[in-house]
Amino acid sequence: EPEVTQTPSHQVTQMGQEVILRCVPISNHLYFYWYRQILGQKVEFLVSFYNNEISEKSEIFDDQFSVERPDGSNFTLKIRSTKLEDSAMYFCASSRMGALTPLHFGNGTRLTVT
């Protein structure tokens, strides 16, 4: 069964550095998402992306965050200047026809900001 893959599985970075989290969604999916989960807390929506543009974003997704689909297969999340509070597990998800159709999640990237 096709799956969403995320790399790296664990990223450690220093505060103020830029990070790029990478995701390869399922190939025939058209809708893409980033969620994050701070340790012990709920899974929070960050952004949804369709047709090469952001369709929705949360208050968390401020100017420090950006998403891109650079080559038709990858879907990336960039954090320009990381803060300690960005430490979390970041999940990429994709779906065929939007958030009300099953979201297929990757295994996540654990980001640790020191």
Partner 1 sequence: AQSVTQPDIHITVSEGASLELRCNYSYGATPYLFWYVQSPGQGLQLLLKYFSGDTLVQGIKGFEAEFKRSQSSFNLRKPSVHWSDAAEYFCAVGADRDDKIIFGKGTRLHILP
Which residues sit at the interface with partner 1, rule CB under 8 A?
4, 31, 33, 35, 41-45, 48, 50, 55-56, 58, 91, 93, 98-100, 102-108
DSSP track, 57-105: E-TT--TTEEEE--SSS-EEEEESS--GGG-EEEEEEEESSSTTSPPEE
10: three-class secondary structure by DSSP: strand
Q: Closest separation between CB of residue 22 and partner 1, Å?
A: 15
Of the pair 19, 33, the CB lying nearest partner 1 is at 33
> Which of 75, 91 has the CB closer to partner 1?
91
Minimum CB separation from partner 1 for residue 15, in Å?
26
Amino acid at 35: Y
Q: Residue 16 Cβ, how far from partner 1 at the closest point, in Å?
A: 29
Name 95's Cβ contacts closer than 8 Å, sequence gap at least 6.
29, 30, 31, 33, 101, 102, 103, 104
Q: Which is nearer to partner 1, 18 or 85 (CB)?
A: 85
For residues 8 and 16, which CB has a smaller minimum distance to partner 1 in the complex?
8
Q: Least distance to partner 1 from the beta carbon of 85, Å?
A: 18
Q: Which helix (H) or strand (E) holds 33?
A: strand 31-37
